[in-house]
Amino acid sequence: MNKTPGTSKDAADKLVRGIRRKTRKHYSAEEKIRIVLAGLRGEESIAALCRREGIAESLYYTWSKEFLEAGKKRLAGDTARQATAPEVKELRSEASALKEVVAELTLENRLLKKSMIGDGGNEE
């Protein structure tokens, strides 16, 4: 068998990378927030925090930047979004129904006022 010297090592490296990729831990939003807040508290160094959590410092700083940017946008009120077509349709039908209710109540109010005036305002 003629194998080139680097082939088996390359294959092994590729296998190890594949295993690491598949077994990589995925952090939930809550876990990321917990880690970033722990770093912001400053009770321990970022390096120590990252070692304890098993993450790279660069990943911590990426999460920290995203966390602070999201907070800045939220506080600035930049969270407006466009309404979807179904939402617009639902809001229009709700507005129409409310207008009908207002019209009915207004008519009923006028009829009651006319009946009170027609009776001369006398109560029995």
CA distance 61 to 46: 9
Provide block-wise average pLDDT over 10 residues at a time, the chain (124 residues). 65 86 84 95 94 94 94 76 85 95 95 84 53
In this prediction the pTM is: 0.48
What pLDDT does residue 79 have?
58
- 43-50 — which CB contacts under 8 Å span 24+ positions? none
Sorted by where each begins, the domain ranges of the chain are 22-80, 81-119
Q: How far apart are the first and last CA of the chain?
A: 116
Secondary structure element (H or E) that encloses residue 5, with its range: none
